[in-house]
Structure 1
Amino acid sequence: MSGIARRGLLSGGAAALAGAAGAGIGGMVRPYPAAAASRSKARAGAVPGRPVVVTPHDARYPDLVRGNNRRWTGSPGAVHLVSSTDQVVDAVRDGVRDGRRLAVRSGGHCYEDFVFNPDVETVIDMSEMRAVYYDEDRSAFVVEAGATLFDVYLTLYRLWGVTLPGGLCHYVGAGGHLSGGGYGMLSRLYGLTVDHVYGVEAVVTDGKGGTRSVVATRDADDPNRDLWWAHTGGGGGNFGIVTRYFLRTPGTAGRAPAAQLPKPPAEVLLHDVSWRWSDLSERSFHRLLQNYGTWLEGHSDPDSPYAGLYSSLNLSTVASGEISLSTQFDATVPDAERLLERYLNALTEGVGAAARPASVAAGELRPSADRFAPRRSPWLLATRNTGAYAWTRSADYKSAHMRTGFPDDQIAAIHRHLRSAAGGPGDLLQAITYGGRINAVRPGATAVAQRDSVLKLQYQCYWEDPAEEARKVSWLREFYGEVYAGTGGVPVPGEVTDGCYVNYADVDLSDPRWNTSDTPWHELYYKDGYARLQQVKQRWDPSDTFRHGQSVRLPAG
């Protein structure tokens, strides 16, 4: 038994034009029109039927023209805080009529300047549209696009005992998270969020000044089905503004609401452990990463007894002092403690360095020293306590999907850059378990193209002082570029890597200085699905009203 076992036995979405994140907690269980009307009347300064409009002379303006990433600040002429689909239709119609560039903001978790940049003239803020309820007519749960993930978790679980396998960051909004193919701690067990999206309500334009809302579902005979498909991983800011999602797991039509979405485990096992950099030789580091990847290659089948396991290997810089592992496991599985022990033993075999309680924050995660001995927790309490919360720093991010574990040359490059003096405290590479039920869905069934990965990677750096930006961004670019030096500086789809995650938007993928491969940015995100997304774009947004730095382009010609 390992030292760990003897001591006893976890993404966003982009806040872009497909309906991005909101803030605040508190879902509603009412028919949609009543819910929207009650909120509209309750908002201070609101005129019934009209949004609150904030302009640069308003004291609220500075807080509404920046997102979670303080790197980006906008200067639009107005921010429209909408509270109904009709208000979104009006705001889009007015913007199209006046020729104004539109963007959408709620929680503001877009990693790039797709919302907050000098070209945007009107921001449509979705944060007042955050209801979560059940629609009897459509026999589906409804999540408004401004609802935060914790809005969704709290309401679905308290009222129906179900959940959505979404992300860790509580204040990410449902709009952008779902449209980009959001994932989270229960995704190996239940798939991606989009695997449970039955339909969307979206505000679209016809290229002739006409603006309307439409509902598109996965029903085979739905004439709008292509619009539903595009929002199951096609990313935000491409086709229209999502105002509502309809959620229902395939095959559950006609069942009671409590049987139409996944039920989370009643209890989970939580475990955090760390290794001091001062105790890690290069060989030890190499063995740990090698073990992690090898284990995932062998335990990522949809029916694996480890489908309920989520781990994040937080490879922080040497300046952070330690690297850590955060794990959540379904405690209702038979012999859960023994299975977790076997997992931990496999990861630490041959590493040599002593495991210690985790004590350093890893990006947006806060490992807990009191989980050094794995502990049981009710699922909702664990979700509340382990989730990443909102932060206000400047940051840069990059991503990769891995079909296998780490090759030796990648491990060497990772080790070299994490030990570089250029990497500061809090900067890291997060290696997250993937696969399981995610890989049970065939590519093409949704717009998420990566359906056989075993790892998802997020490269991260943070800073407070604007003077640090150039140095920090340069470090991350060089780090990423060297790891994928053999494929032009980016994780080109192939035997080992499988492209990038659209919710971790990265404009460097479009820049030939940093992407020297023959693979364009859209293939890194969407692979062969891009041409299909372009056809959806042509049908639903022929005038390219909804666009940003990496939006789906209209077909040539």
Structure 2
Amino acid sequence: MNSSKTLLLQIVIFSIFFSSGSISNPTLASADSSEEFVDCLSKESKIPSWLVHTTSSSSYTSILKSSIRNPKFLNTTASAEPVCIVTPSETSHIQAAVVCGRRHGLRVRVRSGGHDYEGLSYRAEDRGERFAVVDLSGMRSVSVDAASGTAWVQSGATLGELYHAVWRHDPRLGFQAGVCPTVGVGGHFSGGGFGMLQRKYGLAVDHVVNATLVDARGDLLDRDSMGEDLFWAIRGGGGESFGIVVSWHIKLAPVPPIVTVFDIVRSPDHGAIDILTKWQEIAPKLPDDIMVRVIIEPQNVNFEAMYLGTCDELLPLMHLRFPDLAMNRTDCNEMTWIESIPYIHLGRNATVDDILNRTSISRVNTKNRSDYVRDPIPNHIWKKIFAMSQQVTKFGEFQMYMDPYGGKISSIHESATPFPHREGVLYNIQYITYWQGEANGTEALKWSRDLYEFMEPYVSKNPREAYVNYRDLELGRNKLVDGISSYDSGKAWGKRYFRDNFERLAKVKAKVDPDDYFRNEQSIPPLLN
């Protein structure tokens, strides 16, 4: 991986190469400026033509749709689509996209895995906006140093590719990130990144020790050259606000030779609501070697868990601490940690190599929202929630994913990274509403809003918190003032994602990108004097 000296040399060379053109403050791009941007990439930057896909290219549509995970965004006429997609194969291509974009008044958006819940990494809400996309899917190398227990991973890699590479080098090592193997590393880390190891080891960004980033001038920086404020901001401050993170240096985590996974399903008619009510207080207080999350559907409650040890060790623990779940030996599924990744997400017949499959798209449209719970929700409220969920079958499906906190994720101070949802959180909720047919899903979205409104008295307050990686435009959108995203309008959603860290993020933004080159509908606005 590049040393600071090598990075400095690249910066100097790149700056000299583009010194013939000034970097202007981008405005709304015209068709001519879009053509000039493409010419700049090919003629001055020498980016190979097969890495630049314009709307007239035969490859454009397939590249654009290649990592759109939500079918409702496949209808590209409903919003602005990019005038060009750059698929870089090396860092200098990313730098060129930024420098050429600034020179010719064309902003860039960036995507890695495409799991952006509002699709803002590849589309714009304003039909008149013109922009390019830097698609990092071709930059996905993973370099593991098992001796030091670290790895460098490029932002275009998926979590599955990261886990697989670590396992190949040393099966005693793993990493604390999400359960979905097709999620891109770049977006996942940018928002925090949690999963089945969060109670033992915390977030993905709690273990990022360095990064390389292309900033708003096209310069390539590492932790030393970007400074601690910017390094703090990119580890949880959300993607597409401060620059393009090319790669991440992460500290890996030890995993035991055997983990135990169980999946216990209970129906409301068989005590599910009573067990769920008790789970709220039990799960965050269990030893941090076990994670018991909950998946709620209209007919069932699924208690899904992973324990860092054997079934013989787990059974007495569960009988003592969570007897109402009535777990028994037949519920145990012992396996290696790497086998638990496909097992949990893809099912018991999936293989380790299946997590390398990058092609994943939902068959139905989805709307995702989130909450944090700091006080247990009463039993009678859970009964009402289940009663409401029965309405979903009229138009689609519904799930609530709930991940318990406690352990490492809660012991780190909320100002240590931009991700603030730490001490005092019992669990987070992700609401997912599914429907088929029309993309706007009028009935499904109304039900989703009604449930979200119903939950308000029972979740976190002042602010009502949300997770930035479960991006939700119904929390608010940026408004422009003199061509710059307004800090005051950003507070509507920013305080929910980042609490008191939002102001610090906006100050970092003002320092490193004061003219707001990297922006979308929910990017960090600069807090200017």
* TM-score over 0.5 for the pair: yes
Higher relative contact order (CA 8 A, sep 6+): 1
Structure 1 residues 411-490: aligned runs within 5 Å:
411-421=382-392, 424=395, 426-452=397-423, 453-466=425-438, 469-484=441-456, 486=457
Residue 187 and residue 211 in structure 1: after superposition, are their counterparts in 2 closer, same or farther (change >3 A)?
A: same
- Let me know the Cα RMSD of the aligned residues: 3.1
**Matches of 2:98 and 2:177, distance apart in 1:** 29
Assess if the C-alpha contact under 8 Å between 1:422 and 1:471 holds in 2.
no
**Matches of 2:454 and 2:426, distance apart in 1:** 21
**Matches of 2:103 and 2:2, distance apart in 1:** 34
Helix, strand or coil at the partner of 2:215: strand
Please, which of 300, 305, 330 is the counterpart of residue 327 of structure 1?
305
Assess if the C-alpha contact under 8 Å between 2:508 and 2:526 holds in 1.
no
Please, which of 211, 221, 240 is the counterpart of residue 243 of structure 2?
240
Q: Which amino acid aligns with 1:294?
A: E
Point out where structure 1 has 5 or more consecutive residues left out of the alignment: 1-28, 34-46, 249-260, 300-305, 349-354, 357-370, 513-517
Q: Which amino acid aligns with 1:287?
A: D
Helix, strand or coil at the partner of 1:104: strand
Who is 2:297 aligned against? 316
User: What per-residue deviation string (whole Å, max 9, x for no partner) do you get for residues 508-542 of structure 1?
Assistant: 11279xxxxx9832111101111110111011111
Q: Which amino acid aligns with 1:239?
A: F
Assess if the C-alpha contact under 8 Å between 2:166 and 2:174 holds in 1.
yes
Superposition deviation, residue 272 in structure 1 = 1.2
Residue 491 and residue 550 in structure 1: after superposition, are their counterparts in 2 closer, same or farther (change >3 A)?
A: farther
Please, which of 82, 91, 95 is the counterpart of residue 89 of structure 1?
95
**Matches of 1:168 and 1:139, distance apart in 2:** 21
**Matches of 1:197 and 1:406, distance apart in 2:** 34
Who is 1:149 aligned against? 159
User: What per-residue deviation string (whole Å, max 9, x for no partner) do you get for residues 51-98 of structure 1?
Assistant: 611222334322332411122244212111111111100011111111
Q: Which amino acid aligns with 2:508?
A: V
User: What per-residue deviation string (whole Å, max 9, x for no partner) do you get for residues 162-221 of structure 1?
Assistant: 22200000010110101100001111111110110012211112xxxx42111125xxxx
Assess if the C-alpha contact under 8 Å between 1:80 and 1:124 holds in 2.
yes
User: What per-residue deviation string (whole Å, max 9, x for no partner) do you get for residues 435-454 of structure 1?
Assistant: 21111211211111111222
Residue 60 and residue 288 in structure 1: after superposition, are their counterparts in 2 closer, same or farther (change >3 A)?
A: farther
Residue 174 and residue 467 in structure 1: after superposition, are their counterparts in 2 closer, same or farther (change >3 A)?
A: closer
Q: Which amino acid aligns with 1:386?
A: I
Who is 1:535 aligned against? 507
Who is 2:227 aligned against? 224
Residue 120 and residue 309 in structure 1: after superposition, are their counterparts in 2 closer, same or farther (change >3 A)?
A: farther
Q: Which moved more, 1:122-131 or 1:395-404?
A: 395-404
Helix, strand or coil at the partner of 1:68: coil
Superposition deviation, residue 315 in structure 1 = 0.9
**Matches of 1:422 and 1:291, distance apart in 2:** 27
Who is 1:509 aligned against? 475
TM-score by length of structure 2 reads: 0.78
Superposition deviation, residue 30 in structure 1 = 11
**Matches of 2:501 and 2:311, distance apart in 1:** 37
Q: 1 or 2, which has the higher helix percentage? A: 2
Assess if the C-alpha contact under 8 Å between 1:179 and 1:233 holds in 2.
yes
Q: Which amino acid aligns with 2:208?
A: V
Residue 295 and residue 396 in structure 1: after superposition, are their counterparts in 2 closer, same or farther (change >3 A)?
A: same
User: What per-residue deviation string (whole Å, max 9, x for no partner) do you get for residues 118-166 of structure 1?
Assistant: 4352111100110111479x99521100010011111112213322200
Please, which of 492, 500, 503 is the counterpart of residue 461 of structure 2?
492
Residue 298 and residue 262 in structure 1: after superposition, are their counterparts in 2 closer, same or farther (change >3 A)?
A: closer
Assess if the C-alpha contact under 8 Å between 1:492 and 1:524 holds in 2.
no
Who is 1:99 aligned against? 105
Q: Which amino acid aligns with 2:73?
A: W
Who is 2:222 aligned against? 215
1:198 lines up with 2:209 in the alignment: yes
Residue 519 and residue 226 in structure 1: after superposition, are their counterparts in 2 closer, same or farther (change >3 A)?
A: closer
**Matches of 2:319 and 2:301, distance apart in 1:** 20
Structure 1 residues 389-400: aligned runs within 5 Å:
390-392=360-362, 393-400=364-371
Residue 467 and residue 396 in structure 1: after superposition, are their counterparts in 2 closer, same or farther (change >3 A)?
A: closer
Residue 297 and residue 329 in structure 1: after superposition, are their counterparts in 2 closer, same or farther (change >3 A)?
A: closer
Who is 1:68 aligned against? 69
Aligned length: 451
Q: Which amino acid aligns with 1:399?
A: S
User: What per-residue deviation string (whole Å, max 9, x for no partner) do you get for residues 334-390 of structure 1?
Assistant: 822221344552346xxxxxx99xxxxxxxxxxxxxx96212111111223223572
Residue 130 and residue 327 in structure 1: after superposition, are their counterparts in 2 closer, same or farther (change >3 A)?
A: same
Q: Which amino acid aligns with 2:399?
A: L
Q: Which amino acid aligns with 2:237?
A: G
Superposition deviation, residue 399 in structure 1 = 0.7
Assess if the C-alpha contact under 8 Å between 1:30 and 1:134 holds in 2.
no
TM-score by length of structure 1 reads: 0.74
Residue 337 and residue 59 in structure 1: after superposition, are their counterparts in 2 closer, same or farther (change >3 A)?
A: farther
Residue 270 and residue 95 in structure 1: after superposition, are their counterparts in 2 closer, same or farther (change >3 A)?
A: same
Residue 396 and residue 214 in structure 1: after superposition, are their counterparts in 2 closer, same or farther (change >3 A)?
A: same
Assess if the C-alpha contact under 8 Å between 1:111 and 1:504 holds in 2.
yes
Structure 1 residues 94-133: aligned runs within 5 Å:
94-115=100-121, 116-117=123-124, 118=127, 119-133=129-143
Q: Which moved more, 1:228-237 or 1:322-331?
A: 322-331
1:263 lines up with 2:233 in the alignment: no
Q: Which amino acid aligns with 2:276?
A: L
Who is 1:16 aligned against? none
Assess if the C-alpha contact under 8 Å between 1:292 and 1:405 holds in 2.
no
Report % sequence identity: 27
Helix, strand or coil at the partner of 1:201: strand
Helix, strand or coil at the partner of 1:127: helix
Assess if the C-alpha contact under 8 Å between 2:214 and 2:245 holds in 1.
yes
Who is 2:198 aligned against? 187
Q: Which amino acid aligns with 1:504?
A: Y
**Matches of 1:170 and 1:185, distance apart in 2:** 13
**Matches of 1:407 and 1:537, distance apart in 2:** 41
Helix, strand or coil at the partner of 1:211: coil
User: What per-residue deviation string (whole Å, max 9, x for no partner) do you get for residues 398-417 of structure 1?
Assistant: 11122232235642442232
**Matches of 1:49 and 1:107, distance apart in 2:** 22
